[in-house]
Structure 1
């Protein structure tokens, strides 16, 4: 796959002679959507899990999640460039996307929103008219993730991919849906690009499944996607579990960004 690279990022390099930053000097960025974004509790009853992640890290945690964004729109609106502009060599950039990437680009519900991408991890493209009336070449979810990985590495940061938190979609009110295409695509890209993968989906599903349909549904006050504060805290804990249970190259080093609270989080891999 070929992934475009912001021109200004190509100038950024990380010298092999640079010492490895200490965990407390590292920043951990989160690129995500409304399921992770922070909200003012005086204005809404929904909250994203990123709102509660700070104390779980000894490193500085920076929540750049923004509601309603997909990989495509996060990049196209300049939010991605803003995040990278704050990153330094040795920082981590966690990318958890998927909730807004579904749909058909340029048609139906995507008109005026410009966020739907093509499914999968291939090199397929489609040209659509975006909200500005311009021709836009839309790529696959995996291609946008690949671009984000390449861009992160260009500024010396370490990309990490994470599976999306689940929606409250149950079968017969007893079994919560366990797999989501965007999570599996993230996993595939992480394997092909040698990136740490956090199976946030699996550990969040396990927690909600353990509570059962009735109790879990109470944490979703407005729809099947957005949690209240209690649900957000649960998703924050399951996110930390996904870090503690991560395997493969780079996983152990990433775990060192966790605080004592993070490392003490109860978990079952």
Structure 2
């Protein structure tokens, strides 16, 4: 009996089946992806909702509001990811909203700097043995004569250029979300963003809010589903762990929080 147990233990040790390393997705991004405390509801980030499409995957959401590639790196946030990232992980990189803030020098990033910063993030993933994915900046709600406009097009083009040059998987979230907003139209698409009056009972905005950049719960769910679709289409190992179009991401009424039920 003892010999059988030792034999089984040896096989487990050889195969690594006893303690499999759970897959992880790290997110380096801004307020459009970040996790929020309940008192900020209904403001929500797509990184929070991506968990609904990735059962069994740990989502390390390092996104934080107001950050560009420059400030994210300068504050040591990329260094913290580098310290934690390991072989088998996936790093999602989405910036551009704050990089374009010419009037905020602590955030502003030139196109050349933006490209260099993306490459630096890719190097962090490569050094760790992780896989990286570049995402173009997610769409703002910006209709002109009934047509949703591209958001941060020069940064989106730069992201595409870096992805192509480095052969990094690209999720063109900008184009996908632009099409989503266009399909909903000027009126219905308001539900994806923060549009509430003071009587709407939104805990985070008792005086109301009109914001075409940040997402409501429903908007974050919709964007997370777009990200899930894009990840599923890659050839990365994590793709088999992703399930797009789950009910939690396609629901048409709010759940009152980030529930995946």
Q: Fold conserved (TM > 0.5)?
A: yes
Question: Could you tell me how far apart the structure 2 residues matched to 1:70 and 1:45 are?
Answer: 23
Are 1:177 and 2:149 an aligned pair? yes
1:47 corresponds in structure 2 to 44
Where do 1:141-156 residues align within 5 Å?
Answer: 141-156=114-129
Q: Residues 137-184 of structure 1: CA distance to partner in whole angstroms, max 9, x if unpaired?
A: xxx210100111112111211111011111111111x11113622222
Q: Does 1:241 align with 2:229?
A: yes
Q: Could you list the runs of 5+ residues in structure 2 that have no partner in the other structure?
A: 1-15, 195-209, 251-261
> With structure 2 as the length reference, what TM-score do the two structures score?
0.75
User: Which of 29, 33, 40 is the matching residue for 2:30?
Assistant: 33
Answer with 1 or 2: which has the greater Rg. 2
Would the aligned equivalents of 1:97 and 1:164 in 2 still touch at CA under 8 Å? Answer: yes
Deviation at 1:201, TM superposition (A): 1.4
Q: Which residue is 1:8 aligned to?
A: none
Q: CA deviation at 1:44?
A: 4.2
CA shift, 1:259, in A, is 4.3
**Contact 2:229 / 2:244 at 8 angstroms: preserved in 1?**
no
> 1:63-94 CA deviation, whole Å, 9 max, x = no partner?
11101101111111011111222211121111
Cα distance in structure 2, aligned partners of 1:23 and 1:206: 39
Decide whether aligned partners of structure 1 residues 24 and 261 sit closer, same or farther in structure 2, where only a CA change above 3 A counts: farther
Of Structure 1 and Structure 2, which has the larger fraction of its residues in helix? 2
Q: CA deviation at 1:243?
A: 2.0
Aligned equivalent of 1:226, options 202, 214, 234: 214
- Normalised to the residue count of structure 1, the TM-score between the two structures is 0.73
Structure 1 distance, partners of 2:51, 2:104, is: 34
Measured in 2, the distance between the counterparts of 1:260 and 1:185 equals: 27
How well do the aligned residues superpose, as a CA RMSD in angstroms?
Answer: 2.5
Provide the aligned length of Structure 1 versus Structure 2.
Answer: 216
Q: 1:135: which partner in 2?
A: none
Which of 91, 94, 97 is the aligned partner of 2:95?
97
2:225–2:244 contact (8 Å) kept in structure 1: no
* Matched residue, 2:104: 109
CA contact (8 A) 1:30 1:62 kept: yes
Shift of 1:43: 3.2
Alpha-carbon distance, 1:261 to partner: 6.5
Residues 94 and 160 in structure 1, CA contact (< 8 A), matched pair in contact too: yes
- The 1:146/1:219 distance shift into structure 2, 3 A limit, reads same
Q: Could you tell me how far 1:55 is from its partner in structure 2?
A: 2.3
Which stretches in structure 1 are left out of the alignment for 5+ residues? Answer: 1-18, 121-139
Closer/same/farther in 2, CA of residues 25 and 203 from structure 1, 3 Å limit: same
> CA–CA distance in 2 between the matches of 1:28 and 1:199?
18
